Amino acid sequence: MNSVPNNFLGALKRHADCTETILKKASLLDRDDIEFSTDAEIIGIRKMINSVLGENHMMKAFVRLKPQGGKVLYGYMRPEHDVWTLVGRFFAKRFPGTVIVLGNNTRSHVFLYGGDVLNHSRAGSLSKTLKELEEAMGKSTAENPDELWDTYYWSQYRREAKNTRYFKQNMRAKYVRETGITAETDSGGTKLEDFY
Amino acid sequence: MVALDKIIRLASGGQFDSSGPDIYSRPIDLNKVKILGEGTKHDTCASTASKRKVGESDGRIGDVMRSGICHAFAPDGRCVSLFKTLFTNACQHNCAYCPNSTKSSGSGIAAYTPEELARITLQLYRANTVEGLFLSSGVAGDETRMMEQMLEAVELLRHKYNFMGYIHLKILPGASRDHIKRAAELVDRVSLNVETPSKSFMHELSSTKDFEVDILRRQKYIRDAVSKDTLPAGQTTQYVVGAAGESDREIFTRMLYEYNVLGLKRQYFSSFIAVDGTPLHNMKSQPRWRENRLYQADWLHRIYGYHRKEMELAFDDEGFIGNRDPKWAIAMNILDGPLDPNIATREELLRVPGIGPKSAYRIVNLRKKEKITRKVQLKALGVRVGHARTFLKLDGWCDSTLKGWM
């Protein structure tokens, strides 16, 4: 179980099912109340906070970025909660000066970090935003990070230690779906080489 | 919130550009990636947590995360968080369990150039598939030349490509003190695998490695190189469990020395797997649970603060933990009867199976406000009630049976 952060209201607000009533109730509590309480309603609030924090972490872990030209990295995500700016800020700070585009077929968010300032813009679908960026900044086609990752990922496969239960426990279907990752998803199945 | 046009203008202006030289200009030899990646698949260290802070305004690539991130999980459930690779799989050592040893190199021999390795690391990092680099190597020729090349790759990453992400560098057995010092200034963590608990066990597995000179002495050099400005994630090591017939107690005794005398941050275990083409290919592989039980023992000592004497209760007469939870085995020996969570100390609570540091902390805090009388309260605090109930007394009642205490 995670610890409840001091700014837990900020996380709670991002939950897809958070209402004014829940926020009002939570605003009367302090961090310790939420951390230690055994009251069912407060436990529910704790679960909501943990769900947001968990999704934020998993998006940072599983969203795969692809280059479009030298100055744009983009990735697919469809989170349940409103964690867009948390994840975007993380990537933008990790790659200062690079435009980060996160999105799906209905919406996208664009981030750029530099000179201690985070610039953030909301836009339409991911493909539409990428097209706009391509027109303005160009695109190169030689890169295929999927192939490199696929080769490396499978080089770590230890047939003798295969454990589908651990795998599914750690790579939860919800997050695989929300980030659209593919290289790892057939890990639970049997490969031809398993028979040799 | 700003308009997309402004972002395009700022990015095109290039004043914040951190990308450095083009990393995609030359093609990658994927066969090399496969061969050299496979060479490290039994190395289990995956932690990427580092105390180091990357300056927010210096424009370099790669925040490190205090908590670390697992970017994927391998089909065995292990975290894949680093680009874990060998620099080369050619090796002059003859470790009997190792597929890279000179006596057993069946597959093709491959090696990176420092530049090639740096570019592949960055490509994987920019794709958000890894948190950084874990660089190990066979010893082709001599360790001085190999360490020199490995350090060159790390220097390229840090200085030419502005990469500030996580780097774990393996120190080769017999490496010089100067190379170790240089590594300490560049990377987050270094490690040197002891593989076995003692000189005699090492002798059974390899005639080319001197346990005391090539390994222990180098670990002391690393300990001496750690300071508040270097190696924020410290020094670690790994054991190949069961390759030389050692017991769990022997491994645990070595672990204590490594923690207490050499100041290691963590120790890793990899159950021996008999690999075709190695001298030990006919030996029986060790079960996966053996390494899991050793991790549990390590955790009890390191995180829960169990003393050496308590830990002794986890081992059987022959020095093995067996496939049972060491915490349970110890609890059956040291707890005289069920504990009342309302009055037990934190240390006592920590010795109850199903209660960890966080739930013990929560129990101690909750009981200041209300009395704990129901299992549902414990569950809400994160206690694994099914494990703990035999050892706890709630409102005067406990679930323990006579059989449970036999």
Q: Write out pLDDT tens, residues B139-167.
A: 988 899 999 999 999 999 999 999 999 99
The residue of B19, B22, B28, B73 whose CB has the most chain A CBs within 10 angstroms, and thus the best one to mutate to test that interface, is B73
Domain assignment of residue B128, yes or no: yes
Q: Does residue B142 sit in the same domain as residue B216? A: yes
CA-nearest residue of chain A to B371?
A38
Which of B23, B32, B76, B84 should one mutate to test binding to chain A, selecting the residue with the greatest count of A CBs within 10 A?
B76
Contact B30 A142 (CB under 8 A): no
> With an 8 Å Cβ cutoff, are B33 and A61 in contact?
no
By Cβ distance, the residue of B57, B61, B382 closest to A95 is: B61
Q: What H or E segment, with its residue span, contains residue A50?
A: helix A40-62
User: Which residues from chain B sit within 8 angstroms of residue A129, using beta carbons?
Assistant: 4
pLDDT of B71 higher than 80:
yes
Arithmetic mean of pLDDT over chain B: 90
For residue A183, list chain B residues with Cβ-Cβ distance below 8 A: 72
Write out chain B residues lying below 8 Å of A120, CB-based: 1-2
| Residues in A touching B76 (Cβ below 8 Å) | 157-158, 161-163, 166-167
Chain A residues within 8 A of B17 when measuring between CB atoms: 71, 97
pLDDT attached to residue B45: 78
Q: pLDDT at position A195, please?
A: 43
Q: Residue B55 — very low, low, confident or very high, per pLDDT cuts 50/70/90? A: low
In a domain, B291, yes or no: no
Residues B56 and B182 in one domain: yes
In chain B, residues with a C-beta closer than 8 Å to the C-beta of A3 are 358
What is the least distance, in Å, from the CA of B214 to any CA of chain A? 28
Print the domain residue range for B103.
4-286
Contact check, Cβ <8 Å, A156/B84: yes
Q: Is B397 on the interface with A (CB under 8 A)?
A: no
What is the pLDDT, as a whole number, of residue A4?
Answer: 81
Whether the Cβ atoms of residue B243 and residue B198 lie closer than 8 Å to each other: no
Please check whether residue B261 touches A, CB under 8 A: no
Overall number of domains in chain B = 2
Sort out which chain A residues have CB atoms less than 8 A from B83's CB and list them.
Answer: 152
Which residue has tokens 């995360």? B65
Which CATH number covers residue B278?
A: 3.20.20.70
Q: Is B352 on the interface with A (CB under 8 A)?
A: no
Residues across chain A? 196
Nearest to B11 among A61, A137, A187 (CB): A137
Q: Do A160 and B285 touch (CB under 8 A)?
A: yes
- Nearest CA to CA, how far is B148 from chain A (Å)? 25
Q: Is B323 part of the contact surface with chain A (CB cutoff 8 Å)?
A: no
Residue-level pLDDT at A182? 80
Is residue B111 one of the residues assigned to a domain?
A: yes
Task: Judge if B198 and B346 occupy the same domain.
Answer: no
Residue A144 has pLDDT above 70, yes or no: no
Which residues does chain A have within 8 Å of residue B362's beta carbon, measured at their own beta carbons?
Answer: 35-36
User: Which of A112, A155, A188 comes nearest B11 by C-beta?
Assistant: A112
- Output the pLDDT for position B9: 87
pLDDT value of position B103 = 47
CB-closest option in B69, B76, B127 to A66: B127
Place of tokens 């996580």: B166
Nearest-by-Cβ selection for B123 from A70, A95, A145: A145
Is A163–B126 a contact, with Cβ atoms under 8 angstroms apart? no
Q: What is the arithmetic mean of pLDDT over A70-74? A: 91
Shared-domain flag, residues B84 and B187: yes
Domain-terminating residue out of B256, B286, B316: B286
Question: Which range is least confidently modeled, A158-162, B75-79, B281-285?
Answer: A158-162
* Domain-located, residue B60: yes
Q: What does pLDDT average to over chain A?
A: 88
A148 to chain B nearest CA, in Å? 7
Q: Is the dihedral of CA B350, B354, B359, B365 positive or negative?
A: negative
Task: Give percent of chain A with pLDDT exceeding 70.
Answer: 90
pLDDT above 80 (res B202): yes
- Per-residue pLDDT reduced to its tens digit, B336-370: 889 999 999 999 999 999 999 999 999 999 999 89
User: Greater confidence, B13 or B128?
Assistant: B128
Q: Determine the distance in angstroms separating the CA of A156 from the nearest CA of chain B, rounded to an integer.
A: 5
Enumerate the residues of chain A whose CB falls inside 8 A of the CB of residue B359.
1
Please tell me the distance from the alpha carbon of residue B233 to that of residue B189, in angstroms, as a whole number: 5
B8 vs A137: CB contact, 8 Å cut-off? yes
At residue A196 the predicted structure's pLDDT band, cuts being 50, 70 and 90, is very low
Task: Closest CB to B16: pick one of A115, A145, A148.
Answer: A115
pLDDT at B170 over 60: yes
Least confident of A44-58, A101-115, B36-50: B36-50
Read off the tokens for B233: 């994630």
- Mind telling me how many Å the CA of A23 is from chain B's nearest CA? 21
In a domain, B198, yes or no: yes
Higher pLDDT, B346 or B14: B346
State ipTM.
0.91
Q: How far apart are the C-alpha atoms of A7 and B278, rounded to whole Å? A: 55
Interface of B with A in 62-121 (CB under 8 A): 62-63, 69-80, 83-85, 120
Q: Which two tokens stand for residue B171?
A: 């120190």
